[in-house]
Amino acid sequence: MIYLDNNATTPTDPEVVKAMLPYFTEKFANPSSIYDIAFKLKGVLENSRKKVAKILKVNSNEIIFCSGGTEADNIAIMGSVLAQKDKGKHIITSSIEHKAVLEVCKFLKKYFDYTITYLPVNSAGVIDLNVLKDSITPETAIVSIMLANNETGVIQPIKEAAEIAHNAGVLFHSDLVQGIGKIPVDISELGIDYGAISGHKFHGPRGIGIMYLRRGAPFTSVIRGGGHENNKRAGTENIPGIIGILKALEISSERISKGASHMAELRDMLQESILEKIPQVLINGKDAPRIPNTLNISVKYVEGESMVFMLDEEGIQVSSGSACTSNSLAPSHVLLAMGLEHADAHGSLRFSLSGETTREDIEKVLEILPPIVSKLRKMSPFAPPEFK
Amino acid sequence: MSIDKSKDGRLYTSKVMEHFRNPHHWGKIDDADGVGRVGNPICGDVMYIYLKIKDDIITDIAFETLGCVAAIATSSIATEIVIGKPLKEAWKLTDRDVANALGGLPANKFHCSMLAEEGLRAAIQDYLKKQGRSVDEFK
Ligand code: FES
């Protein structure tokens, strides 16, 4: 199996699993209880929070554990705007955000009458900071821009964008999910007020995430209950998950510089060889800085789902932004926002590597993909005669 | 639609995958007697169907499809079903027949089989029109 869908999820690192195991069966108590075995776990929890904070270069009381990236995006944006509802009901985000942000904006618009501005991106997939500046109004409560896009890997100028927002007195949230583990992320350096992190995108477990909440940033909890996480997010703490995400962060921060250059080398090799071997392929996002593990291509005259399945038959797992692969039967909103034709979004493929990906894996893909493309082009009503 | 055991926990039935892997009658017929060109308004996929017809019998057929696994498999099985059949019978082929012949399709892929039904009908219609005839004779 050659698994190249690591932006979707990653296998949990066996070391992470090993670290988590005792916390399911032996050290299982509820940290809110007062007897010894529980109180000790409270210590484990706070110690883990400290270590996580240190890696992310923030204060430990700025780390709020929750169930994942989606929840972190939800509670950060909702928690921020509800705490500042007197300021105004305007949100700025980008047209390429993950659904975890876009759907929150839609929700706030529908039920709380917020106005949403979606910043466009250029053909490289990057927002325009001047447009951001011009979009801010006295009513703007928050700006939410992702660090790296899940489909194209394109990195946004978060530091600069956050500065623009702050200069106008507006708070800034960033979905950091695809950045962590792939590029070094220093949250204080980025200067954001809220951030979202997901465990399973960097070989941690699922069901655990982190909301970064800058000390003093306006916030009200939208998950109410027993006052956990310093009243920021209720719910019995997922200790195995917290141990897991900490371990995964430790491993990835240790390996990141080596891992990033390894992935970049293989990604570039895949990109260049595809361009060499397959005519009429577009590289989506190639003119922007990208996280090192992601390659998004559009293959002219073919559809993505059929390529995904043919690759799967050969033991290679990738994904596509084709309309046919989405539940909504609409092609990738990210690629369309970059100005791609519907047909090119339809023929898109995303390869997302991991630190475990080998040169042999990439060579195998380069052997398997070209004949698949030729076969589908032969069948395609649109392919010009030279492909028949 | 009943649960298909051939799916074995996969998205598509083994019949769908069989036709997807080795589609029948794909390609183009340059001197076709009837051509149908249809597009799927839902996801943007396209199918062309080419027919050779003799004495109102489909003697040869070919398809070109840009689409998902289900679109390619339905194109393939539809050509398989109607080759050698009289036009009148081929006209009656429905999306449901096509889906059933494949052992079923996932619910959100049922619309893909419409492409085969519509493509075939468009090709038959094209042929009849060239002959100065009308599909009314099949209704
Ligand atoms: S043809 Fe697009 S979903 Fe099947």
Rounded CA-CA distance A68/A210 in Å is: 7
What is the pLDDT, as a whole number, of residue B100? Answer: 95
What is the pLDDT, as a whole number, of residue A381? Answer: 93
Q: Is the pLDDT of residue B3 over 60?
A: no
pLDDT in tens, chain A (388 residues): 999 999 999 999 999 999 999 999 999 999 999 999 999 999 999 999 999 999 999 999 999 999 999 999 999 999 999 999 999 999 999 999 999 999 999 999 999 999 999 999 999 999 999 999 999 999 999 999 999 999 999 999 999 999 999 999 999 999 999 999 999 999 999 999 999 999 999 999 999 999 999 999 999 999 999 999 999 999 999 999 999 999 999 999 999 989 999 999 999 999 999 999 999 999 999 999 999 999 999 999 999 999 999 999 999 999 999 998 888 888 999 999 999 999 999 999 999 999 999 999 999 999 999 999 999 999 999 999 999 8
Nearest by CB: A302 against B12, B47, B66: B66
Rounded CA-CA distance A63/A43 in Å is: 15
For ligand 1, pick from B48, B64, B98, B109 the residue to mutate: most ligand atoms within 8 Å of CB: B109
Residue of B nearest to A378 (CA): B27
CA distances from B71 to A74, A139, A302, A347, B117 (A): 37, 48, 12, 15, 11
Termini Cα distance of chain A: 31
Query: B112: which chain A residues are within 8 Å (Cβ-Cβ)?
Result: 324
Nearest by CB: B64 against A322, A329, A381: A381
Ligand 1 centroid from CA B80, angstroms: 20
For residue A106, give the amino acid letter.
Answer: K
Interface of A with B (CB under 8 A): 301-303, 305-306, 309, 313, 322-325, 327, 329-331, 342-343, 346, 378-382, 388
Nearest-5° angle of CA A64, CA A70, CA A75?
A: 50
Nearest by CB: B67 against A303, A330, A342: A303
Q: Is the dihedral of CA A270, A271, A275, A278 positive or negative?
A: positive
Determine which one of B99, B105, B112, B116 is catalytic. B112
Q: Is the pLDDT of residue B6 over 70?
A: no
Rounded CA-CA distance A24/A17 in Å is: 11
In contact, B112 and B40? CB cutoff 8 Å: yes
- Write out residues with Cβ below 6 Å of ligand 1: A 323-324; B 40, 43, 45, 67-68, 70-71, 109, 112
Would you place residue B2 in the very low, low, confident or very high pLDDT band (cuts 50, 70, 90)?
Answer: very low
Active site residue B112: yes
Q: Is the pLDDT of residue B1 over 60?
A: no
CA A266 to chain centre: 21
Give the three-class secondary structure for A334. Answer: helix
Rounded CA-CA distance B73/B134 in Å is: 29
Look up tokens 């060109």; give the residue: B37
Query: B76: which chain A residues are within 8 Å (Cβ-Cβ)?
Result: none
Mean pLDDT of B129-138: 91
Q: How much is the ipTM here?
A: 0.91
Termini Cα distance of chain B: 28
Indicate yes or no: CB of A324 within 8 angstroms of CB of B72.
no
Residue of B nearest to A300 (CA): B66
Rounded CA-CA distance A306/A308 in Å is: 5
Rounded CA-CA distance B33/B131 in Å is: 10
Rounded CA-CA distance A280/A285 in Å is: 16
Tallying the residues shown for chain B, one arrives at 139
Nearest C-alpha of chain B: how many angstroms from A305? 5
For ligand 1, pick from B16, B40, B46 the residue to mutate: most ligand atoms within 8 Å of CB: B40
Taking each helix axis from N to C end, the angle separating A304-313 and B14-21, rounded to the nearest 10 degrees, works out to 100
Would you place residue B138 in the very low, low, confident or very high pLDDT band (cuts 50, 70, 90)?
Answer: confident
Closest atom of ligand 1 to B115 CA is 1
Rounded CA-CA distance A362/A258 in Å is: 18
What is the pLDDT, as a whole number, of residue A117? Answer: 98
Closest atom of ligand 1 to B40 CA is 1
What is the pLDDT, as a whole number, of residue B4? Answer: 56
Indicate yes or no: CB of A306 within 8 angstroms of CB of B67.
yes
Interface of B with A (CB under 8 A): 12, 17, 20-21, 23, 26-28, 37, 42-48, 64-72, 108, 111-112
DSSP-assigned beta bridge partners for residue A143: A92, A172
For residue A32, give the amino acid letter.
Answer: S
Q: Report which protein residue has its CA nearest ligand 1's atom 2.
A: A324
